[in-house]
Amino acid sequence: MLSKIKQSNSSKVIKLYIELLALLFVRPSELRLAKWSEFNMQQAEWNIPVERMKMAAPHWVHLSVQAITILKELRLLTGLTPYLFNSPDSTKNPQPISELVLENYYINPVIKIGILYMGLGL
């Protein structure tokens, strides 16, 4: 699956988004709304705040070596914004990329090349 993602025509940021979804096994909205300030690379963990969790409790996600590598690559692309996946239209007032834009313009083209996006809730 990851090799097909890398071969797709999607942008680099979206490819990294899909790779992180596969590695971290979190809900798409949790990753889409993730902020750089929630990550501790030295301790290899991501602290998802209670406000974004379905069960109304904070959640810590262990970051594998592969996930940290992807996050470092992503940081070079989006690290100047508060969100990992910042909306390109929100330069003055940073906002995360919208679910609709993510699905319609980035995820659906990846699905068309044969990647099944099963059970990820988009």
pLDDT, greater one: 5 or 23? 23
Per-residue pLDDT, 110:
52
* Candidate from 2-6, 43-47, 56-60, 113-117 with smallest mean pLDDT: 113-117
Rounded to two decimals, the pTM is 0.78
Average pLDDT over residues 79-98: 82
For 58-69, write each residue's pLDDT tens digit.
Answer: 789 999 999 999
Per-residue pLDDT, 116:
46
Q: Mean of the per-residue pLDDT values for the chain?
A: 80
Per-residue pLDDT, 117:
46
DSSP β-bridge partners for residue 62: 45
In the predicted model, is pLDDT for residue 94 greater than 80? yes
Per-residue pLDDT, 87:
83
